[in-house]
Structure 1
Amino acid sequence: MGENNPVILGLDVGTQSVKLVAYDPQTRQIAATVGEALELAAGDDGSREQRAEWWIDAIRACFARLDPALRARVTAIGVSGQQHGFVPLDRAGNVLAPAKLWCDTSTAAECDLIMDAVGGAQRAIEIAGNPILVGYTASKLPWTREHRSQAYAQLATILLPHDYVNFWLTGERWMERGDASGTGWLDVRTRQWSDELIAATDPDRDLRACLPPLVEADALFPIAAAIADELGLPHGVRVSAGGGDNMMAAIGTGNVSPGVLSMSLGTSGTLFAHTDRPMVDDAGRWAAFCDSTGGWLPLICTMNCTVATEAVAGLCGFSTKQGDELLAGTRPGAGGLLMLPFLNGERTPNLPNGRGSLFGITATNLNPANLYRAAMEGAVYSLKNGYDAFVDAGLRFEAIRLTGGGSQSVVWRQMIADVFGLPVDVPEQAEGAAFGAALQALWATQRAEDPGADLAALAAAHVRLEPRLSAHPHAEATAAYEAQYRRFLSHLDAIRPLYA
């Protein structure tokens, strides 16, 4: 059934893997899902890097595992990518150096240099809506100038990870405004580049000349014939603008109109909502990003989510797939263990030089189960800290839509519901970013035929929730977590001076 239907592909180039989703919009069924793991080069200085060719090799491997008959039905591709990564190209399109990633904290000092050049963090918010936070693309340029001077001298184009994949697919260079928000250079109010912040990044060079043109969210580009042949795709395939993984996950969870709160539990943890106007916080408590639909995406990002639970699992010699079973004998509060899981430094709260901390150890509570629970709870408390800022700003939500690897865990889902005191829903499609990229590509192809095609209506039709994965808060657990969350905040205040 549907063997001749057109197929839309969504590609998500993440930190840990590349995922490909093949979607049949007529039957509203996933025709195939494949993934390929990625390496990560980590340094003691906080550096986190990947080579762009690793992404391409993983994409090739994903396509090789798709049935040729399915590939022949593909009409469009949407690409999602980890945000903030810096891919430097020379004039010929060659990659000049490894890509520094969103979780790279080695450029924390450069963030301050850029903001100091414009008059401080508050002035950066006034200019463009956001401070330059650790991990943002802007800070990677002065670092590259200092540490990879030859690459910087040859720099002709600045691309983000999903931009680079688009460039490989089409031979064309562009950025869309959602992912561009994460560079730190985009004025999110006007949706245009901030000349002042670009100049502050390097006053001796016109970096604006290295930035590709900004395109609208519904833009489409033809795939390069040679790439189509290599991947076994028709020459008529079109590639949509794509976007950052959070922007694509918003589409993939149906978060394209106000009132929906999405949470992604991956290597990082994110909370994001849709607004139809710029939502800038004077204190910079959230990222005031554009989204990849033409609206805006206020976003909370933590740099340590499943990375914390995976680290504990690895230390204790079990798999995270065994985590739920292990936690069956534990209770909220982890027997008094409290973890601040800042293994990669942290963005929310803003402690780029932070390190993980473990408190409340006794002779009886230090065991693998409680340690694993403390890591999970600490990751959730960091997100709750960001959520409180949304609530302070007047945003209200009736439920949370969960995506990412953590969404498949019964314990994660119930913990989110209990800590936030909100019902949790999980879309049928677990790969929210890849699925969202496919839906954006579907919307763009529809807009090419009908400029009035509505993304909210499309998302309502194609994003379906899985009722068997829903979770509802339990009052007793919510109260227990609230007490532990208050401990988390007090310990957070205590360690801030150590990592200032």
Structure 2
Amino acid sequence: MAAAAHQEGELYLGFDFSTQQLKVVAIDQDLNVIHQNRVHFDSQLPEFRTEGGVHVGADGLTVTSPALMWVKALDLLLEQMQEAGVDFSTVRALSGSAQQHGSVYWKNGAGLTLGRLRGEHGLSQQLQDCFSVRDCPVWMDSSTGRQCRRLQEAVGGAAQLAEITGSRAYERFTGSQICKMRKERAQEFGETERISLVSSFAASLFLGDYAAMDYGDASGMNLLDIRSKKWSQACLEAAAGPGLERLLGTPLPSASVLGNVSPYWVNRFGFSDQCSVVAFTGDNPASLAGMRLREGDLAVSLGTSDTLFVWLRHARPALEGHVFVNPVDWRQFMALLCFKNGSLTRERLRNRCAGGSWEGFSAALRQTPLGNHGYVGFYFDVREITPPAVGVHLFDAEDKEVSSLSAEAEVRALVEGQFLSRRLHAERLGYSVVPGSRVLATGGASRNKDILQVLCDVMNVPVYTMDVSDSACLGAAYRALHGAPEASGESFFDVLKNAPEARLAVTPHPEAQRVYDEMLRRYARLEKRVLRELGP
């Protein structure tokens, strides 16, 4: 937690309502970070008795978080900022992000309460009776398998649902959660006046009125038609029948200014009554903004899981991955892919093949050629998301499955195989290289130049590195600056032209395109074979 730096000029706030904590970053008009702060739910709000910010049901599948906990965290965070010397009267605009797929159920009459908040009392005291469902389903929930099947059947199958909404049915997505709520908690559902995502719920607190969902977060619900930017009537009907559209409201572009902060914020914390509230979005779309991805870029976070963010001009939704409306340019799209077998798998091979040494691991990559003499490896220590496979599968140059490789060949087989998989599945969702394309690498493994060189060669575009800790929070602050009145008419990238640039790390080997274009075709064939042999 950082104290407020010396303040001159106007501030722009970005909030992030994540699973375990509420964070804020304040930037000035020159993009300098002036203040950072956070509230950790478990330790600072122990009365809610969460573990990791959530409650896990007796079935082990139902996972929820208390809506009032998020409200109380916001009270506490603003008080901490005030004590640190932040001058809220200088805040020109604010925006935010939140964990995707969580949903909040406002009780009948809550809208009136939101509009009449009094500055002499805290938010949590005034909103404690405003939720028809006190514990909100969040992204970790996996209790809606039956509802997912119903939703897919209603529109003609999983592929058709993905074509409409950008994703096949997922248990954590809000459409299936609403379907379950309507069926199993009919009384509470009947008392619901408005359904928010966690992002639009948070925006509502600042607005003093129900905030619209933005296109970016709304496209993670299995309910929004990502091309028309309107609710799919077939999906709404399958989820909850007539009336759901009224409960959800009309979604808006992510850069929309929803209004100014409510009088509560002016009276209690001294905000200007001209402080703009820019639509809040999900944490993944906000991260794309925080990393300042542009068309043709692909961001790779090399962590425990490897996560890809891709800027797409045209979307080709598939049964794997997710396509959302782009939060920076609502006429375009972004794709998200997550791979469970990331750094832990690399560490396992480092320990077995390189004596536990990253230098030995790197030396193996340097000592083996591009294409690895034709050896290809699939390493799924745990059941993978994309593709849905498990186990280790090794092939020689003749596509014959083999039981082992030399230590050096196995290290390269792992790293090439991981990045061929990332490229293959990104291209299936619509990713393609255009002039100026870059890969932006983050996460622990991005510090290893030899791993980055393989990534660079497989993708055949330069790889850059950047420090994007708290990228969702920073992205929210950037979006607040872009949405402020003084930035009217300017593009997102014009507003952020003075932001720190990513650093060029490596460039492709001259032979990379020839080697890996052919290898990618082989990898795709072998992946099909692995999946066929594993069966359903």
Contact 1:48/1:100 (8 A) holds in 2: yes
Could you list the per-position Cα deviations for residues 149-194 of structure 1 after superposition, in whole angstroms to 9, with x for gaps in the alignment? 4543433322112112112233322211121122122222222212
Query: How far apart, in 2, do the equivalents of 1:482 and 1:35 lie?
Result: 48
Match of 2:227 among 189, 192, 202: 189
Contact 2:378/2:417 (8 A) holds in 1: yes
Contact 2:106/2:192 (8 A) holds in 1: yes
* Structure 2 residue aligned with 1:156: 193
- Between the two proteins, the alignment pairs up a number of residues equal to 474
Q: 1:157 to 1:357 in 2, by over 3 A?
A: farther
Query: How far apart, in 1, do the equivalents of 2:186 and 2:418 lie?
Result: 37
Q: Does 1:133 align with 2:169?
A: yes
Mean alpha-carbon deviation: is it higher for 178-187 or for 34-43?
34-43
* Structure 1 residue aligned with 2:107: 90
Query: How far apart, in 2, do the equivalents of 1:229 and 1:81 lie?
Result: 26
* Structure 1 residue aligned with 2:490: 453
Contact 2:28/2:34 (8 A) holds in 1: yes
Query: How far apart, in 1, do the equivalents of 2:271 and 2:95 lie?
Result: 14
Unaligned 5+ residue runs, structure 1? none
Q: 1:85 to 1:123 in 2, by over 3 A?
A: same
Q: Tell me how far 1:498 sits from its aligned partner.
A: 5.7
* Structure 1 residue aligned with 2:9: 5
Secondary structure (helix, strand or coil) at the match of 1:175 reads coil
Q: 1:325 to 1:110 in 2, by over 3 A?
A: farther
Task: In structure 2, give the amino acid aligned to 1:141.
Answer: I
TM-score by length of 1: 0.75
Secondary structure (helix, strand or coil) at the match of 1:190 reads coil
Q: Tell me how far 1:434 sits from its aligned partner.
A: 2.0
Contact 2:326/2:334 (8 A) holds in 1: no
* Structure 2 residue aligned with 1:74: 91
Could you list the per-position Cα deviations for residues 5-42 of structure 1 after superposition, in whole angstroms to 9, with x for gaps in the alignment? 2111112233455442221123x312233445561546
Task: In structure 2, give the amino acid aligned to 1:86.
Answer: S
Q: Does 1:100 align with 2:140?
A: no
Match of 1:340 among 369, 380, 383: 380
Contact 1:107/1:139 (8 A) holds in 2: yes
Q: Tell me how far 1:138 sits from its aligned partner.
A: 1.1
Q: Does 1:472 align with 2:507?
A: yes
Q: 1:299 to 1:60 in 2, by over 3 A?
A: same
Contact 1:118/1:197 (8 A) holds in 2: yes
Query: How far apart, in 1, do the equivalents of 2:76 and 2:264 lie?
Result: 17
1:355-370 map, 5 Å = 357-358=391-392
Contact 1:40/1:48 (8 A) holds in 2: no
CA RMSD of aligned residues (A): 4.6
Q: Does 1:302 align with 2:328?
A: no
Mean alpha-carbon deviation: is it higher for 42-51 or for 147-156?
42-51
TM-score by length of 2: 0.71
* Structure 2 residue aligned with 1:30: 33
Unaligned 5+ residue runs, structure 2? 42-51, 111-129, 395-401
1:50-61 map, 5 Å = 50-56=65-71, 59=74
* Structure 1 residue aligned with 2:121: none
Q: 1:342 to 1:386 in 2, by over 3 A?
A: farther
Contact 2:296/2:312 (8 A) holds in 1: yes
Could you list the per-position Cα deviations for residues 419-465 of structure 1 after superposition, in whole angstroms to 9, with x for gaps in the alignment? 4232222345543322221122112113xx56423323213x14331
Task: In structure 1, give the amino acid aligned to 2:494.
Answer: A
Query: How far apart, in 2, do the equivalents of 1:198 and 1:110 lie?
Result: 13
Task: In structure 2, give the amino acid aligned to 1:168.
Answer: L
1:368-387 map, 5 Å = 380=419, 382-387=421-426
Q: 1:30 to 1:414 in 2, by over 3 A?
A: farther
1:40-59 map, 5 Å = 41=54, 48-56=63-71, 59=74
Secondary structure (helix, strand or coil) at the match of 1:178 reads helix
Q: Does 1:180 align with 2:184?
A: no
Q: Tell me how far 1:492 sits from its aligned partner.
A: 6.6
Q: Tell me how far 1:323 sits from its aligned partner.
A: 10
* Structure 1 residue aligned with 2:530: 494
Identity of aligned residues (%): 22
Q: 1:499 to 1:30 in 2, by over 3 A?
A: farther
Secondary structure (helix, strand or coil) at the match of 1:396 reads coil
Query: How far apart, in 1, do the equivalents of 2:335 and 2:310 lie?
Result: 6
Secondary structure (helix, strand or coil) at the match of 2:238 reads helix
Query: How far apart, in 2, do the equivalents of 1:493 and 1:378 lie?
Result: 15
* Structure 2 residue aligned with 1:240: 278
Q: Tell me how far 1:146 sits from its aligned partner.
A: 4.4
Query: How far apart, in 2, do the equivalents of 1:382 and 1:98 lie?
Result: 38
Task: In structure 1, give the amino acid aligned to 2:34.
Answer: A
Contact 1:80/1:245 (8 A) holds in 2: yes
Contact 2:380/2:391 (8 A) holds in 1: yes
Secondary structure (helix, strand or coil) at the match of 2:24 reads strand
Task: In structure 2, give the amino acid aligned to 1:10.
Answer: G
Q: 1:131 to 1:249 in 2, by over 3 A?
A: closer
Q: 1:363 to 1:356 in 2, by over 3 A?
A: closer
Match of 1:198 among 236, 239, 256: 236
Query: How far apart, in 2, do the equivalents of 1:206 and 1:131 lie?
Result: 23
Query: How far apart, in 2, do the equivalents of 1:60 and 1:117 lie?
Result: 42
Secondary structure (helix, strand or coil) at the match of 1:69 reads coil
Contact 1:265/1:402 (8 A) holds in 2: no
Q: 1:283 to 1:436 in 2, by over 3 A?
A: closer
Query: How far apart, in 1, do the equivalents of 2:161 and 2:330 lie?
Result: 21
Contact 2:14/2:476 (8 A) holds in 1: yes
Query: How far apart, in 2, do the equivalents of 1:106 and 1:382 lie?
Result: 29
Secondary structure (helix, strand or coil) at the match of 1:183 reads coil
